[in-house]
Structure 1
Amino acid sequence: MNEEITLKDFLSIGQNAMASRVVQHEDATDNYNNDFMNLLATPRLIHWAIDASIKAIDPYLPEDYASIGLSINFVHTAPTSLGMTVTVHASIIAMTERDVTLSIKAWDEQGEIGHGLLKRAIVLKKAVLEKAEERTRLLLIRQANEQVKDME
């Protein structure tokens, strides 16, 4: 992260976001190899937790910055059927110079369905894109070298 910004100038403990969604078939366990049908899949719930965390952070950062995922520790505690409404709440509970920790809570009409902690790093967008470009360039060089070896 660029040393020029201080997270506390843009974010604060308790800052939060909430989003609600109706569980659709594309969100269901049917899309995975398992024995359960028509239930909210854990990966989709985690996706929604990530979306809520981004909503709690990114709109408040300077334009050149964004948050990226570092880690998640999440427990999916109860099943949710198709057609039920899920609400996910993300709240900032801690910050360092470079990252933000959020508490995640999720529930449907019947009560809690999940909770956990999510950590996001605050990064300069340009730096991340440059690093990705460099990694891609190195991969292409390695692949080209392997093709040359194969021709010998």
Structure 2
Amino acid sequence: MKFCNINAGMSKTMQKEITEEDTALYYGSGSIQDLLATPVLSALMIEAAVSVVDPLLPDGYMTIGKYLSIEHLEPTVKGMTVTVNASIIEIENNKITFAIKAYDELGQIGSGIHERYIVNYSLLKQKVSQRTERLTPQPK
């Protein structure tokens, strides 16, 4: 299925004020109390990418992440605002590649590449069910 309304160059920007729940200590990814956790930065980058494409897809379709590579370049302190921009740099069949940059009030704090795939939700659920059937005990 071709998605003509999705093109390279499309982008979205989102912002989030960093709270205690976003810190490395709270998140369990470090021991510094007031700094943005890298997993939270990753999640914000993914959320920005999803916001570019998913609202444009027809009913029954969504994107799923396959690859994420980021650099967390600078610390951000609780109370600061993180701005994340995700921009489509390539579309190949149902694979969409994003360049993502993150900033706070003092400058760039991170960058990354993220790949998402457009999938049919019903087919994905079917595949998940087939895979997880192996977890169900079989009658003897």
| TM-score of the alignment, normalized to the shorter chain, above 0.5 | yes
Correspondence for 1:78 among 71, 74, 78: 74
Equivalent residues, number: 139
Distance in 1 of aligned mates of 2:120 and 2:65: 14
TM-score, length basis structure 2: 0.94
Identity across the alignment (%): 35
Equivalent residue in structure 2 for 1:46, among 42, 48, 51: 42
Which whole-Å CA distance do the structure 2 matches of 1:51 and 1:28 have between them? 18
- Aligned partners of 1:54, 1:12: CA distance in 2, in Å? 14
Deviations 1:39-61 (A, max 9, x none): 00000000000000000011111
Q: How does 1:2-151 map to 2 (within 5 A)?
A: 5-7=1-3, 9-31=4-26, 32=28, 34-141=30-137, 144=138
- Cα distance in 1, alignment partners of residues 88 and 29 from structure 2: 34
Where is the helix percentage greater, Structure 1 or Structure 2?
Answer: 1
CA gap 1:139/1:76 in 2 versus in 1, 3 angstroms:
same
Partners of 1:25 and 1:80 in 2: CA distance: 12
Question: Which structure has the larger Rg?
Answer: 1
Consecutive aligned runs of 4 or more in structure 1 exceeding 2 Å deviation: none
Taking a change above 3 Å as real, the CA distance of residues 132 and 48 of structure 1, as seen in their structure-2 partners, is: same
Structure 2: stretches of 5+ with no match in the other structure: none
Q: Which runs of 5+ in 1 are unaligned?
A: none
What SS does structure 2 have at the residue aligned with 1:138?
helix
Distance 2:75 2:101 in 1: 15
Provide the C-alpha distance between the structure 1 equivalents of 2:57 and 2:69, rounded to a whole number of angstroms: 24
The one-character-per-residue Cα deviations of 1:60-95 (angstroms, maximum 9, x if unpaired) are: 111121110010110000000000000000000001
